[in-house]
């Protein structure tokens, strides 16, 4: 049977129709709730996944557009170039760098490399859940340590929870979803208290947004404490969440152990040159950081003006204490065409909102005042 050859216009029409049918299908949004359900023209404000609203640097987009013919080849050379560039930036050797398909792959391979069935993984409650989710496959025992009263990692209690059977300790700093930090001094006291046989995985996905002078990376401690591995990502400040690239920095031995667990050819030919371009554009990165943090400060001021409690944040998102279960509030924002963060079971009264553009956050604030009026006014 002869197949019909579609024109480019017809092909686009068929794809559009197929997508429309898929989105209309019963259960679609339940099965794919993490997908972006609005196209660029819908007017939906996306404040739900801690993405950078300003996107990648134009230089990264140029590199992406130019990758064309390279897509036919495995990107080994580009992989090595990014690895070398990151090593130079952090003052380590390429053998101390591992690239991943987003930092989530870094967290997965850390679990695979350092957790076994008879071991435990120590984490704060509440924090980014990926490490615990991946640890289920190793049948490791989760040890959840409650946060402090100001929603920070309780490092002394986390250290005390470690035993000779602890395989991994996870510290997300700044923390997702609370936006809080632990200081360099607190980490300096914590690290020696963890058994040297346990890996300390420090997730610094939101490193670039932190402004508190007491905050700092622990990358420089890896030589002194080889059981530290740091995870970073291009998804946040670099605006490349959809392109999936993260990396780990650690000792040669730990990076080799993690490398044995990664999927082969896990970095694609488009994201690697875009990453190189991003690393070379410090001006854009600084501007993006400045704009996002300025909007975060504006939102903090507006919330304080209304007398609304919130957790002070060092990230590109904030947690608002709504005083009641946020599940129906999330739906009310959806009715306003604004998508906010999901409900966290251990913090069910807190609403997480990503810092979007200034106009997007102004729109969020207007909707918030309508949905949950401040100072005793009647809610919508």
Write out pLDDT tens, residues 207-238.
999 999 999 999 999 999 999 999 999 999 99
Name the band, by pLDDT with cuts 50, 70 and 90, for residue 151. Answer: very high
Q: Is the dihedral of CA 262, 265, 271, 272 positive or negative?
A: positive
Write out pLDDT tens, residues 243-301.
999 999 999 999 999 999 999 889 999 999 999 999 999 999 999 999 999 999 999 99
> In CATH, which of 3.40.640.10, 3.40.190.80, 3.30.450.20, 3.40.190.10 is domain 58-279?
3.40.640.10
Q: What mean pLDDT do residues 329-342 have? A: 97
Q: What mean pLDDT do residues 146-168 have? A: 98
Q: Say what the pLDDT of residue 8 is.
A: 37
Angle made by CA atoms 210, 329, 153, in degrees to the nearest 5: 35
Name the band, by pLDDT with cuts 50, 70 and 90, for residue 68. Answer: confident
Name the band, by pLDDT with cuts 50, 70 and 90, for residue 105. Answer: very high
Residues in the chain: 380
User: CA-to-CA distance for 158 and 154, rounded, in angstroms?
Assistant: 6
Indicate if the pLDDT at residue 104 is higher than 60.
Answer: yes
Q: Say what the pLDDT of residue 14 is.
A: 36
- What does 86-123 look like in DSSP terms, one character per residue? HHHHHTS-GGGEEEESSHHHHHHHHHHHH--TT-EEEE
Q: How far is CA 168 from CA 142, 151, 153, 162, 227, in A?
A: 10, 22, 15, 9, 9
Are 33-56+283-371 and 58-279 the same fold in CATH?
no
Q: What mean pLDDT do residues 167-196 have? A: 98
Q: Say what the pLDDT of residue 72 is.
A: 87
pTM (2 d.p.) = 0.88
Mean pLDDT in the chain?
Answer: 90
> Under a CB-based contact definition with an 8 Å cutoff, are residues 170 and 201 in contact?
yes
- What does 168-233 look like in DSSP terms, one character per residue? EEEEESS-TTT-----HHHHHHHGGGS-TTSEEEEE-TTGGG---TT----GGGTTT-TTEEEEEE
Q: What mean pLDDT do residues 128-146 have? A: 95
Task: Find, among 259, 282, 270, the residue nearest to 99 by Cα.
Answer: 259
The DSSP call for residue 138 is G
In the chain, where the domains are located = 33-56+283-371, 58-279
Indicate if the pLDDT at residue 40 is higher than 70.
Answer: no
Q: Say what the pLDDT of residue 159 is.
A: 98
The DSSP call for residue 42 is S
Write out pLDDT tens, residues 296-322.
999 999 999 999 999 999 999 999 999
Within 10 A of 168 (CB to CB), how many other CB atoms are there? 26
Please state, for a pLDDT cut of 70, what percent of the chain lies above it: 87
Please state, for a pLDDT cut of 90, what percent of the chain lies above it: 83
Q: Say what the pLDDT of residue 264 is.
A: 87
Q: Say what the pLDDT of residue 366 is.
A: 98
Q: What mean pLDDT do residues 40-67 have? A: 90
User: CA-to-CA distance for 240 and 246, rounded, in angstroms?
Assistant: 10
User: CA-to-CA distance for 333 and 346, rounded, in angstroms?
Assistant: 21
Q: What mean pLDDT do residues 149-165 have? A: 97
Q: Is the dihedral of CA 301, 187, 350, 334 positive or negative?
A: positive
Q: Where are the beta strands (DSSP E) in 226-303?
A: 228-233, 246-249
Write out pLDDT tens, residues 11-25.
334 333 443 344 334
Q: Which CATH architecture has domain 33-56+283-371?
A: Alpha-Beta Complex (3.90)
């Amino acid at each position: 049977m002869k197949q019909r050859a579609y024109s480019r216009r017809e092909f686009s029409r068929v794809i559009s129709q197929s997508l429309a049918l898929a989105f209309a299908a019963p259960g679609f949004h339940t099965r794919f709730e993490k997908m972006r359900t609005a196209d660029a023209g819908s007017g939906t404000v996306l404040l739900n996944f801690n993405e950078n609203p300003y996107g990648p640097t134009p230089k990264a987009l140029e590199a992406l557009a130019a990758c064309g013919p390279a897509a036919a080849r495995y990107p080994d050379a580009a992989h090595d170039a990014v690895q070398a560039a990151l090593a130079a930036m952090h003052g380590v050797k390429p053998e101390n760098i591992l690239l991943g398909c987003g930092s989530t792959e870094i967290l997965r391979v850390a679990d695979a490399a350092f957790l076994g069935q008879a071991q435990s993984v120590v984490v704060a409650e509440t924090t980014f859940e990926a490490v615990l989710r991946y640890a289920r496959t190793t049948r490791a025992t989760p040890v959840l340590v409650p946060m402090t009263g100001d929603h920070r990692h309780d490092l002394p209690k986390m250290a005390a929870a470690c035993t000779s059977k602890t395989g991994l300790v996870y510290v997300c700093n700044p923390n997702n979803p609370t936006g809080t930090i632990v200081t360099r001094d607190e980490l300096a006291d914590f690290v020696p208290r963890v058994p040297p046989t346990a890996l300390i995985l420090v997730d610094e996905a939101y490193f670039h947004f932190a402004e508190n002078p007491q905050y700092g990376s622990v990358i420089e401690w890896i030589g002194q404490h080889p059981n530290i591995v740091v995870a970073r990502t291009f998804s946040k400040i670099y605006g490349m969440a959809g392109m999936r690239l993260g990396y780990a920095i650690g000792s040669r031995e730990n990076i080799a152990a993690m490398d044995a667990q990664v999927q082969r050819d896990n970095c694609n030919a488009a994201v690697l040159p875009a990453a190189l371009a991003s690393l070379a554009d410090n001006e854009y990165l600084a501007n993006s950081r400045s704009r996002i943090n300025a909007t975060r400060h504006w939102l903090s001021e507006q919330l304080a003006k209304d007398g609304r409690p919130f957790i002070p944040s060092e990230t590109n998102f904030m947690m608002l204490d709504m005083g009641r279960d946020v599940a129906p509030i999330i739906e009310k924002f959806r009715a306003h065409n604004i998508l906010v963060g999901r409900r966290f079971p251990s913090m069910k009264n807190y609403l997480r909102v990503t810092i979007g553009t200034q106009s997007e956050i102004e729109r969020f604030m207007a909707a918030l005042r309508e949905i949950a009026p401040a100072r005793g006014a009647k809610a919508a």
